[in-house]
Amino acid sequence: MVSSTLMGALKAIVRNGRLILDEPTDLPEGAEVEIAVVIDDSDSELLAELDASAEDEKAGRLVDMKDVIARLGSTP
């Protein structure tokens, strides 16, 4: 089973084809991450939703997907 933890957005720049973070992280050495690239910030509605989702995560208002799947598989 693959485990995942949602972390707030990090900002990086591309240098020589590599992503360089603007700030240090608490990620362990060798950690594998998934990256969503936002090239055009003209979609203010999408960016607002992403910000709201990040705030929900910080406030503990998100539900783990494995819990949702477990509930869907159970009978009332």
Q: What is the pLDDT of residues 10-69, one digit of tens each?
A: 888 889 888 888 888 888 888 888 887 776 667 788 888 888 988 998 999 988 888 888
Residue 71: both structure tokens together:
């509930």
CA distances from 72 to 2, 43, 62 (A): 19, 33, 17
Residue 31 has a pLDDT of 86
Q: Which residue has the higher pLDDT, 13 or 4?
A: 13
Residue 6: both structure tokens together:
């949602």
In eight-state DSSP terms, residue 4 is -
- Integer Cα distance of 37 and 40 in angstroms: 9
CA 71 to chain CA centroid, Å, is 23
Residue 1 has a pLDDT of 45
**pTM for this entry:** 0.36
Residue 66: both structure tokens together:
């494995």
